Amino acid sequence: MTAKHTLGEFIIDNQNQFEYSTGELSRLLNAIRLAAKTVNHEVNKAGLVDIIGATNQTNHSDEQQQKLDVLANQAFKNALINRDIVCGFASEEEDSFVSISSNNKTAQNNYVVLVDPLDGSSNIDTNVSVGTIFSIFRRVTSQDQPVEEKDFLQKGIYQVAAGYVLYGTSTMLVYTTGHGVNGFTLNPALGTFYLSHPNMKFPKEGHIYSINEGNYVHFPTGVKKYIKYCQEDNDNRPYTSRYIGSLVSDFHRNLINGGIYLYPPTSKHPKGKLRLLYECNPMAFLAEQAGGEASDGQQRVMEVDPYELHQRIPFYCGNKEMVRKVDSFINEN
């Protein structure tokens, strides 16, 4: 068996694909690799030490912060701040963006990173897989100035890299820099990620739909029609419903087996629950790079023009044909 590429080797071997191969983006991806290992270590022992459960804090969205949310946020922030790589950091766990000044007094760094440090964290106490989602942009403001909000409020089409870490039965890091999607599995004994899923693509057909049907009564008519379309027993469509309640896990399963993830507007979240900048955009980038699509019901997610750091949108993401089918039902006149 040929020796598998490690993530570190893969990053270096492919850094010449970037327009700006100063090595800065490679160092950034390596920092994310380190943070992923740190969080993985904590998540895997969550049941054994006083690290599960909620803090008595809530984040800006008044969502209770799990202890691991806070720890994961700090792990990614530290990994990115201490290496003089990025000029700005934004997170679901931070009210506003964090400006990072460079040690190099003449020029600031070029990249901003947005993360959902531990997506699905409310599942931790029940030992359900959780994940980290990250999105990377080049700054748009001049290098010799501190970072500004407009450096973060960029359309998804301008992402230079995006990915997720899945803390599941095995820990995987899946990412893209616009040249396909590659998955790396952590060998915990060595602390090394190995290329286990090269060039990931959605299967040609998908038959899994992932949605919280508990909100059915509040869904838009078109989404209700799509669910009934999946459940009707005709056209020989063998659909099945799978919903873990953890975006990274549901997305990852659909990417491998074929399917669609849907989070429509609900009464509690009339604009949708998921965040555009650090959940929908990075997953949309991965989906498109793997031959799929991502829509908010009206347009391509990566074309949505952001106006607010923690903006929410409806999210339909997965096999191209399935996303287009949902869009057609939603936009039926």
Nearest to 237 by CA among 331, 295, 319, 294: 319
DSSP letter, residue 123: G
Q: How far is the CB of 219 from ligand P6P (least distance, A)?
A: 12
Burial status of residue 115 (CB atoms within 10 A of its CB: 0-12, 13-18, 19 or more): buried
| Nearer to ligand P6P (CB atom), residue 212 or residue 257 | 212
Whole-angstrom Cα distance, residue 186 to residue 283?
A: 21
**Separation CA 216–CA 237 (nearest Å):** 21
Nearer to ligand P6P, 187 or 311 (CB): 311
Nearer to ligand P6P, 5 or 273 (CB): 273
Amino acid at site 248: V
Query: Any idea what the Cα angle at residue 283 is, between residues 279 and 287, rounded to 5°?
Result: 165
Tell me how far, at minimum, the Cβ of 106 lies from ligand P6P, in Å: 41
For the segment 250-269, give every residue that binds ligand P6P (CB under 6 A).
250
Structure tokens at 75: 């792990």
CA distance 220 to 266: 8
Give the three-class secondary structure for 169.
coil
**Is 212 one of the binding residues for ligand P6P (CB under 6 A)?**
yes
In the complex with ligand P6P, which residue's Cβ is closer, 63 or 321?
63
- For residue 245, state whether it binds ligand P6P (rule: CB under 6 A): yes
Show the binding pattern over residues 267-286: x = contacts ligand P6P (CB under 6 A), - = does not: ------xx------------
Q: Which of 6, 102, 122, 187 binds ligand P6P (CB under 6 A)?
A: 122
288 binding ligand P6P? (CB under 6 A): no
Least gap, CB of 226 to ligand P6P (angstroms): 17
By CB under 6 A, tell whether 38 contacts ligand P6P: no
- Identify the H or E element spanning 250: helix 247-257
Q: Is 53 in the site for ligand P6P (CB under 6 A)?
A: no
When the beta carbons of 67 and 273 are compared against ligand P6P, the nearer one is 273
Give whichever of 120 and 258 is closer to ligand P6P, judged by the CB atom.
Answer: 120
Cα–Cα distance, 249 to 184 (Å, whole number):
15
Among 135, 246, 281, 319, binds ligand P6P (CB under 6 A): 246
Q: Is 236 helix (H, G, I), strand (E, B) or coil?
A: coil
Could you say which of 118, 147, 247, 294 contacts ligand P6P (CB under 6 A)?
A: 247
- Of residues 88, 117, 120, 318, which one binds ligand P6P by CB under 6 A? 120
129 binds ligand P6P (CB under 6 A): no
What DSSP string describes 6-74? Answer: BHHHHHHHTGGGSTT-SSHHHHHHHHHHHHHHHHHHHHHTTTTTTT-SEEEEE-TTSPEEEHHHHHHHH
Distance in Å, CB of 119 to ligand P6P, minimum: 5
Decide whether 11 or 118 has the Cβ nearer to ligand P6P. 118
CA–CA gap between residue 124 and residue 118 (Å, rounded): 10
Q: How far is the CB of 112 from ligand P6P (least distance, A)?
A: 22
Distance of CA 329 to the CA centre of its chain: 26
Q: Give the footprint of ligand P6P on this chain (CB under 6 A).
A: 119-120, 122, 212, 245-247, 250, 273-274
